[in-house]
Amino acid sequence: MKIVPYTSVLILIIALKTSFLFSQIEKSAYYEDIDGKRLSKESFSEKYHSKPDGYGYFSLIFENDTCYIRKLHRRKALGRLNLNVLDSLKFLYPKMTKSHKFTIFQYYPGKDICNVGHIAPNSHPNHNRNLRKVKKIQKKFDALNYFVYKLGSDLNYDKIKRINWILDKNAVLERLFFQYHYMCGSFVVINNVDGRYIAVFSEYGISTIEKVLDEMSNTK
């Protein structure tokens, strides 16, 4: 029997471990449009930086055993809730029935690069938690505003004295509008009468909410 030198065995073990690590790290990357159609990296980047509707795109990243997939996702979504779903929301959030034309749901998805859970009022003129600005647009558009957080998001209440954060009961809003963790928070504006809605995903300011309310007030 041939005896293999210890150093050779050691080198072989290191080589095998290195090969294993690289097999775990070096995955292929693929790019897709909003419909799942494959794109080149260049086409993906070009579309990612475009804003055909004034809001543009962001990317969702999915991983499986062999590759990463970056898929484009529109930052703005429009739709209409059927009346049964709308009535269910009004049951969970009763103030929606009290003669307000619109309801704003500002949604906190959990900790990410934008925050560490200390979600408190902010005095920046365009900040979505500038309460003075929030009240101003509520009055202007006859709108109701809810600050809602995701179940299991570990929101830290220690520094939250003036915001009434409400749990997304049974993950209803998450299932309807916020299926993914959209970085930095998102919001949706709903017409309380006919169920029309516009949702904007990922980072936003109070001016974006006002822009959406203005759009919804002028369309039918």
Q: Are residues 51 and 86 in the same domain?
A: no
Distances (CA, A) of 19 to 16, 27, 68, 207: 5, 13, 19, 51
At residue 65, what is the residue type?
Answer: D
Q: Are residues 55 and 100 in the same domain?
A: no
Separation CA 116–CA 111 (nearest Å)? 5
pLDDT score, position 7: 44
Q: Are residues 52 and 153 in the same domain?
A: no
Instruction: Look at 113 and 57; give whichever has higher pLDDT.
Output: 57
Full residue range of the structural domain in which residue 176 is found: 76-217
Q: Are residues 188 and 164 in the same domain?
A: yes
Residue 180 lies in a domain: yes
Separation CA 196–CA 87 (nearest Å)? 13
What are the tokens at 90?
């009004």
211, 121 contact by CB (below 8 A)? no
Q: Are residues 41 and 97 in the same domain?
A: no
pLDDT score, position 144: 96
Lowest-pLDDT choice from 80-94, 115-129, 189-203: 115-129
* Phi, psi for residue 87 in degrees, rounded to 5: -65, -35
The CATH number for 148's domain is: 3.40.30.10
- Given a cut of 60, is residue 14 above it in pLDDT? no
pLDDT in tens, 164-208: 888 998 999 999 999 988 888 899 999 999 999 999 998 899 999
pLDDT score, position 58: 82
DSSP codes joined into one string, 63-90:
E-SSEEEEEEEESEEEEE--HHHHHHHH
Q: Write down the mean pLDDT value for the chain.
A: 84
- What is the arithmetic mean of pLDDT over 46-55? 89
What are the tokens at 210?
């006002």
Residue 103 lies in a domain: yes
- Given a cut of 60, is residue 24 above it in pLDDT? no
Separation CA 44–CA 38 (nearest Å)? 9
- What is the arithmetic mean of pLDDT over 102-119? 84
Q: Are residues 120 and 44 in the same domain?
A: no
- Given a cut of 80, is residue 115 above it in pLDDT? no
Instruction: Look at 49 and 21; give whichever has higher pLDDT.
Output: 49
Residue 187: CB atoms within 10 A of its CB come to: 24
pLDDT score, position 13: 44
Q: Are residues 109 and 150 in the same domain?
A: yes
Q: Are residues 69 and 85 in the same domain?
A: no
Q: Are residues 101 and 182 in the same domain?
A: yes
pLDDT score, position 118: 66
* Helices first, then strands: H and E counts in the chain: 6, 10
Q: Determine how β-strand 165-167 pairs with β-strand 186-191.
A: unpaired
Residue 1 lies in a domain: no
- Structurally, the chain folds into a number of domains equal to 2
